């Protein structure tokens, strides 16, 4: 039976529970606060979520694989201080390369421990988080690092605009599309989805699940490094503890996006929806003038409701 | 298995050998000072304080056992117990939380070890166990910077503030001081959100404020340490807004001094970790020798500094 | 043959050789470690975490974990201190414990009956408790007024503090419940294979829910005890990673995060291991970030060691079998 265009759209929306939640939340805030719905604010939110957006895209791969990466917060700190600390000494591009290498290396270590040694990812990445945070503090001796001059092109990454649109948001969107393509169209994406679903079955079909899991962590590490570039270029400085507790926001975003914590399913675009929800909440609450503790309680309720709705919509899809 | 165990042992041994910070002078008559800090890795002030403590102890020739609970109040309590077990001659405590510190100082007092409270005071109920307090007067700091702000923006303006971590005693006292300074004026605080002493988070809070409040609606933003001020400043510069003036209590970093010199930060109340640490250690050593100061409260100087008087103040970069 | 049994014991309970190595190292390298006062100090200091870890052990054996512990302790500490003046000490403590159990119940219902993912539920509850704790505290800290309350936290019988005696008691009770009751067996069964347990007639939803309540209750108890120990409560208690430390202690002790195996004695080992390492760092006057680095390396190292031991044992079993 041919559904009319409108019905199709409605049907799609109904199935995508979390997108519904995003729209509802946005509308609620927009009605409540005129400043919230200004174009300026929309652009601000996009700029503010750039770092988490990039990191959540990478984390999606890890979670699809059935693991957690708790080290991304500290990795963000380390890569940020490397970027800024080395910028004046060896130049912006080498500094960014060093940061990216650090992200890849850390991801590789975590990936090896989880993928090859089959250690528990939560505890391992907790350990890595401690080690990396200690490194960031050691390297800077506890002090913040900052650029001599913040008018360099490096800072334009975080501060600048293209046609009124923040460059960091553009980079985030391009990165997300890249990750989504990898997940949905490339062989690796297929591999990680299968491995997360059933690692043993994959082994029988010839997929090296150890390699696949290792790569998922490398992607997460890379994302933290890119996020660090976006973050540190905004202010031209880096505190060695800047990334503390980022990992929970990142993982929350991925979960809001509907990725199953048991592994085997996930969608980068939906993760981005989760990122937007978090960003809107943080921004919206300040616009509304809510005290911070109300934000936490609201975040609690919204998370539960959003995930429940998404769960229900998935069930319906399954039944139909 | 052998390889795994070997690696583990090597790891632990290597870590032990990295303990360059420990003072192991074993002379019998050396005064042994035990100190538990708040969170040395949290910001530049505390790192500088930590380093100054170590170097000053070397200068004075005293042995110092310096422990860091990374902001955790219960860890701090455990560490104080460990210090008591190490038989220190005096114990300096920088309370992670003024109320939970009461039990800590009681324990020291029962063990017969004198206590000096550093930087943040113990709550009133615990002060009878403490010999003296050395550090900035948080309240006064907030007030100094607050008064400087009132001078500049007048008595009828609207401002916003960005606080530190929620529940952080020093920050609460500074806020109290600032609110005291504006109490008799018509200045209204329109908004107050935590920036968590994190430059990026503070920047985001400020950015949100700037969207919420159109140019001309707010006259100033008040911050409670250096990093928050930088975040606010970044947000203002990124937005190209110069209608909002930045004030900060408890600041004085090298970067901040430059900003005050060129007027980007209008006024601060200056707090130097070097002076803080040196003074505290000096007093503690005297207490260990039996020469406690006459007063309980020993405040270090935290003058209000702005473009006008910055050349007169003696500055040691940190 | 006795040799074999010893070796099997060591490989199965890797926490034991690890503890031995650490203790030997500490005894030789760390001045001040090997005195009785210090060792009991360490035990007493970690008793509160230990009690919370017992609850977490039950839950992990069941196949789940609880992150709301992080902020629940702040909430129950606040309730037990703050309500003392208006309601009296005993009602205040009871209400705090009830709050812990209530949060556990909410977790249990949402995970077990509604079917929402445990990570999400407990993370959300963590934020919820954080908010409520701050609203109740209003940014201040509460000082406990009751002498009896504070005395319980700091008093001792011989070298053991009251709290550590409570810890030992709860360990024995926990062991008994896990080993000898149907409830305990069901917990293991569900953690091992939930579908099979269900088919075997176990009411998996109820047992899982109950384990969340147990974990919540003991976490709440931990919060109250922290308040007794410190004589005050602060809204930041437990933040930001108390839950991770408790989970790490349970897993490092030998209880598998996937569920179905483990016991409270492993947890005792895990708690003591982390506590002793902290103590060693203090006594060695190590700089903070070295301590953080070592903590991280130990976590990874212990897991590696455990895996290597298991692999050896498996290899041996395959060879002999």
Pick from B275, B272, B280: nearest CA to B298? B280
Question: Own/partner pairs for A40-44, CB < 8 Å, 24+ apart?
Answer: A40/B211, A41/A283, A41/A287, A41/B211, A43/A164, A43/A165, A43/A166, A43/A169, A44/A283, A44/B207, A44/B208, A44/B211
Q: Are strands B63-67 and B32-36 parallel, antiparallel or unpaired?
A: parallel
Report H helices in A91-159: 92-111, 121-140, 153-159
* Contact between C300 and A307 using a beta-carbon 8 Å cutoff: no
Q: Do B261 and B281 sit in the same domain of this protein? A: no
CA dihedral B233, B236, B239, B241 (to 10 degrees): -140
Helix/strand number for chain B, H first, E second: 10, 12
Cα nearest neighbour of C280 on chain B: B16
pLDDT at B312 over 80: no
How far apart are the CA of B200 and the nearest CA of chain C, in angstroms? Answer: 18
pLDDT at site A4: 60
Q: What is the pLDDT of residue C256?
A: 85
* Helices C204-230 + B73-85 axis angle, to 10: 50
Instruction: Report in angstroms the alpha-carbon separations of A153 from A93, A164, A225.
Output: 11, 17, 18
Domain, as residue range, for B240? 138-270
Share of chain A above pLDDT 70, in %: 93
**Domain assignment of residue B309, yes or no:** no
Show the domains of chain A with their CATH numbers.
Answer: 32-313 (1.10.3470)
- pLDDT tens per residue across all 321 residues of chain C: 567 777 777 777 778 888 888 889 888 888 878 888 888 889 999 999 999 999 999 999 999 989 999 999 999 999 998 888 888 888 999 999 999 999 999 999 999 999 888 888 998 999 899 889 888 887 777 888 888 888 888 888 888 889 999 999 999 999 999 999 999 999 999 998 888 889 988 899 999 999 999 999 999 999 999 998 888 888 778 877 788 889 989 988 888 888 888 999 999 999 999 999 888 888 888 887 888 898 899 888 888 887 777 777 677 777 654
| Mean of the per-residue pLDDT values of chain A | 86
Query: Are both B119 and B159 inside the same structural domain?
Result: no
Highest mean pLDDT among A296-305, B12-21, B180-189: B180-189
Residues B158 and B261 in one domain: yes
Give the closest of B85, B106, B167 to C37, CB-based: B85
Residue numbers in A near B256 (CB within 8 A): none
pLDDT of residue A245: 80
Q: Is the pLDDT of residue B314 over 50?
A: yes
B200 and B285 within one domain:
no
Is B13 within the bounds of a domain?
A: no
Asked if residue B200 lies in contact with residue A231, where contact means CB atoms within 8 angstroms, the answer is yes
Task: Give the ipTM of the model, two decimals please.
Answer: 0.84
How many residues in total does chain A contain? 320
On the 0-12 / 13-18 / 19+ scale of CB atoms within 10 A, C305 is: buried
On the question of pLDDT at A173 being above 90, the answer is yes
Q: How many CB atoms lie within 10 A of CB C166?
A: 18
Per-residue pLDDT of B141-173, as tens digits, reads 899 889 888 888 888 889 999 988 776 778 888
Q: Give the residue from C23, C27, C43, C33 showing the smallest Cα distance to C158.
A: C43
Strands B115-118 and B132-135: parallel
User: Is B258 part of any domain?
Assistant: yes
pTM: 0.86
pLDDT tens track for A30-89: 888 888 888 888 888 998 899 999 999 999 999 999 898 999 999 999 999 999 999 988
Chain C, 140 to 159: residues with Cβ < 8 Å from chain B are 140-143, 150, 153-154
Q: How confident is the model at residue B24 (pLDDT cuts 50, 70, 90)?
A: very low
Backbone angles phi, psi at A166, to 5 degrees: -65, 135
For chain A, how many helices (H) and strands (E)? Answer: 15, 4
The whole-angstrom separation of Cα A134 and Cα A81 is: 12
Which of A55-59, A157-161, A244-248, B207-211 ranks highest by mean pLDDT?
A55-59
A282 touching chain B per CB within 8 A: yes
Residues B60 and B108 in one domain: yes
Residues B166 and B85 in one domain: no
In a domain, B157, yes or no: yes
Strands C142-143, C232-233: pairing kind: antiparallel
- CA B129 to CA A45: how far, in whole Å? 50
Give C 232-251 residues with CB within 8 A of chain B. Answer: 232-237
* CB proximity A89 to B under 8 Å: no
With residue B35 as reference, give the H or E element that holds it: strand B32-36
Residue C279, chain B, CB below 8 Å: the answer is yes
Mean pLDDT of A303-317: 74
**Same domain flag for B120 and B213:** no
Q: What is the CATH number of the domain that holds B196?
A: 3.40.50.2300
Comparing C-alpha atoms, which of C67, C82, C61, C16 is closest to residue C238? C67
The pLDDT of residue C53: 96
Question: Could you say which of B40, B200, B205 has the minimum Cβ distance to residue A142?
Answer: B40
Closest chain C CA to residue B124: C143
Nearest Cα residue in chain C from B47: C288
User: Which residues from A are below 8 Å from B230, CB to CB?
Assistant: 235, 237
Task: Kindly tell me if the per-residue pLDDT of A147 is higher than 70.
Answer: yes
Q: Total domain count for chain B?
A: 2
Contact between chains at A244 and B198 (C-beta distance less than 8 A)? yes
Q: Rounded to a whole number, what is the distance in Å from the CA of B131 to chain A's nearest CA?
A: 31
Whether B313 is in a domain gets the answer: no
By the CB < 8 Å criterion, does A143 face chain B?
yes
Q: Looking at the complex, report in whole angstroms how far the Cα of residue A230 sits from the nearest Cα belonging to chain B.
A: 12
HSE-up of residue A138 (Cα within 13 Å, Cβ side): 17
- In degrees and rounded to multiples of 5, residue B304 shows phi and psi of -80, 130
CB of C192 within 8 Å of a chain B CB? The answer is no
Q: Which of A40, A137, A231 comes nearest B200 by C-beta?
A: A231
Q: How confident is the model at residue B20, as a pLDDT?
A: 38
- Give yes or no: residues B226 and B290 share one domain: no
Please give the Cα distance from A134 to C300 (Å, whole number). 15
Quote the CA–CA distance of C83 and C91 in Å, as a whole number.
Answer: 8
The answer to whether position B150 is within a domain reads yes
B13-39 per-residue burial string, b: 16 or more CB within 10 A, e: under 16 = eebbebeebbbeeeeeeebbbbbbbbb
Which residues of chain A make contact with B21, given a CB cutoff of 8 A?
none
**Helix, coil or strand: residue B297:** strand
Nearest Cα residue in chain C from B40: C288
DSSP secondary structure letter of residue A116: I
Report chain A residues whose CB lies below 8 A from the CB of C248. Answer: 123, 126
Is there a domain that residue B41 lies in? yes
List, for residues A88-112, the tens digit of each pLDDT value.
Answer: 889 889 999 999 999 999 999 999 9
Terminal CA-CA length for chain B = 48
Q: Indicate whether B108 and B172 sit together in one domain.
A: no
Residue B315 lies in a domain: no
How far is residue A224's CA from residue A19's CA, in Å, rounded to a whole number?
25
Residue A87 contacts residue A232 (beta carbons within 8 Å) = no
- Name the more confident of A258 and B110: B110
Cβ count near C44 (within 10 Å): 23
| Same domain for B251 and B157 | yes
- Count how many residues are written for chain C: 321
Higher pLDDT, A135 or A199: A135
In terms of domains, do B211 and B112 share one? no
8 Å CB contact of A297 and C304: no
Percent of chain B with pLDDT over 90: 21
| Axis crossing angle, helix C36-61 with helix C69-82, rounded to the nearest 10 | 120
Shared-domain flag, residues B188 and B248: yes
When mean pLDDT is compared over A135-149, A154-168, A241-255, C267-281, the highest value belongs to: C267-281
State the pLDDT confidence band at A11, using cuts at 50, 70 and 90. low
Touching B: A residues 43-72, CB under 8 Å? 44, 48
């Amino acid at each position: 039976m041919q559904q009319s265009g409108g019905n199709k759209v409605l049907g799609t929306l109904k199935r995508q529970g979390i997108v519904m939640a995003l729209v509802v939340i946005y509308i609620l805030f927009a009605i409540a606060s005129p400043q919230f719905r200004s174009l300026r604010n929309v652009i601000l939110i996009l700029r503010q979520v750039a770092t988490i957006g990039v990191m959540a895209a990478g984390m999606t791969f890890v979670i699809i694989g059935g693991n957690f990466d708790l080290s991304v917060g500290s990795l963000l700190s380390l890569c940020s201080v490397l970027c800024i600390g080395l910028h004046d000494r060896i130049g912006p591009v080498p500094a960014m390369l060093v940061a990216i290498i650090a992200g890849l290396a850390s991801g590789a270590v975590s990936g090896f421990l989880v993928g090859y040694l089959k250690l528990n990812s939560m505890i391992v990445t907790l350990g890595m988080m401690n080690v990396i945070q200690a490194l960031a503090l050691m390297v800077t001796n506890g002090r913040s690092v900052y650029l001599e001059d913040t008018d360099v092109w490096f800072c334009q990454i975080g501060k600048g605009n293209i046609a009124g649109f923040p460059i960091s948001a553009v980079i985030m969107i391009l990165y997300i599309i890249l990750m989504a393509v990898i997940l949905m169209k490339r062989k690796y994406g297929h591999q990680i989805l299968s491995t997360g679903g059933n690692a043993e079955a994959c082994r029988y079909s010839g997929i090296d699940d150890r390699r696949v899991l290792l790569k998922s962590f490398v992607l997460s590490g890379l994302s933290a490094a890119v996020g660090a570039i976006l973050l540190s270029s905004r202010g031209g400085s880096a505190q060695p503890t800047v990334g503390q507790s980022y990992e929970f926001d990142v993982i929350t975003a991925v979960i809001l996006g509907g990725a199953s914590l048991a592994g085997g399913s996930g969608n980068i675009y939906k993760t981005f929806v989760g990122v937007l929800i978090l960003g809107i909440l943080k921004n919206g609450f300040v616009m509304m003038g809510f005290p911070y503790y109300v934000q936490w309680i609201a975040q609690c309720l919204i998370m539960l409701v959003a995930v429940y709705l998404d769960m229900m919509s998935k069930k319906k899809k399954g039944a139909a | 298995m052998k390889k795994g165990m070997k690696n583990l042992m090597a790891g632990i041994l290597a870590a032990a050998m990295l303990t360059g910070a420990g003072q192991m002078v074993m002379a019998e008559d050396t005064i042994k000072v035990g100190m538990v800090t708040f969170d040395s890795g949290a910001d530049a002030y505390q790192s500088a304080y930590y380093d100054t403590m170590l170097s000053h102890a070397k200068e004075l020739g005293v042995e110092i056992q310096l422990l860091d609970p990374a902001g955790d109040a219960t860890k701090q309590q455990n560490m104080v117990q460990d210090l008591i077990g190490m038989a220190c001659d005096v114990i300096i405590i920088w309370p992670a939380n003024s109320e939970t510190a009461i039990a800590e100082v009681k324990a020291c007092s029962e063990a017969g070890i004198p206590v000096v409270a550093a930087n943040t005071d113990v709550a009133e109920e615990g002060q009878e166990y403490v010999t003296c307090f050395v550090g900035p007067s948080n309240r006064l700091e907030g007030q100094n910077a607050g008064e400087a702000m009132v001078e500049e923006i007048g008595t009828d303006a609207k401002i916003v503030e960005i606080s530190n971590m929620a529940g952080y005693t020093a920050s609460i006292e500074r806020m109290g001081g600032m609110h005291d300074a504006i109490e008799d004026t018509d200045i209204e605080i329109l908004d107050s959100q935590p920036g968590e002493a994190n430059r990026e988070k503070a920047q985001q809070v400020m950015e949100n404020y700037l969207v919420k409040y159109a140019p001309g609606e707010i006259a100033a933003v008040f911050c409670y340490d250096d990093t928050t001020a930088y975040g606010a400043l970044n947000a203002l510069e990124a937005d190209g807004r110069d209608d909002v003036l930045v004030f900060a209590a408890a600041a004085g970093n090298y970067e901040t001094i430059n900003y005050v010199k060129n007027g980007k930060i209008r006024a601060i109340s200056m707090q130097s970790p070097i002076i803080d640490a040196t003074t505290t250690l000096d007093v503690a050593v005297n207490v260990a020798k039996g020469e406690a100061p006459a007063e309980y409260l020993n405040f270090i100087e935290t003058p209000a500094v702005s473009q006008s008087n910055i050349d007169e103040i003696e500055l040691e970069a940190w | 043959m006795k040799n074999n049994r010893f070796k099997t014991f060591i490989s199965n309970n890797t926490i034991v050789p690890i503890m031995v190595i650490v203790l030997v190292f500490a005894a030789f390298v760390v001045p001040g470690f090997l005195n009785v006062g210090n060792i009991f100090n360490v035990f007493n200091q970690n008793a509160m975490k230990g009690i919370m870890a017992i609850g977490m052990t039950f839950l992990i054996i069941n196949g789940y974990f609880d992150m709301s512990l992080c902020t629940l302790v702040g909430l129950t500490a606040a309730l037990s201190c703050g309500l003392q003046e208006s309601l009296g000490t005993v009602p205040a403590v009871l209400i705090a414990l009830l709050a812990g159990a209530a949060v556990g119940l909410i977790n249990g219902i949402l995970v077990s009956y509604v079917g929402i993912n445990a990570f999400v539920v407990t993370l959300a509850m963590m934020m919820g408790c954080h908010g409520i704790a701050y609203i109740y505290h209003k940014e201040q800290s509460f000082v406990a007024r009751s002498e009896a309350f504070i005395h319980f936290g700091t008093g001792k019988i011989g070298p053991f503090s009251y709290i550590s005696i409570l810890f030992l008691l709860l360990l024995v009770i926990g062991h008994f419940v896990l080993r000898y009751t149907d409830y305990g067996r069901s917990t293991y069964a569900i953690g091992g294979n939930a579908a099979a347990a269900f088919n075997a007639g176990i009411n998996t939803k109820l047992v899982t829910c109950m384990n969340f309540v147990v974990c919540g209750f003991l976490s709440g108890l931990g919060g109250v005890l922290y308040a007794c120990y410190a004589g005050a409560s602060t809204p930041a208690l437990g933040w930001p990673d108390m839950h991770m430390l408790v989970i790490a202690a349970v897993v490092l002790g030998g209880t598998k995060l996937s569920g179905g195996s483990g016991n409270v004695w492993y947890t005792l080992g895990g708690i003591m291991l982390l506590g002793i390492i902290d103590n060693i760092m203090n006594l060695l006057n190590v700089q903070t970030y070295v301590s953080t680095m070592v903590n991280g390396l130990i976590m990874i190292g212990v897991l590696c060691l455990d895996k290597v031991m298991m692999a050896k044992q498996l290899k041996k079993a395959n060879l002999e079998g």
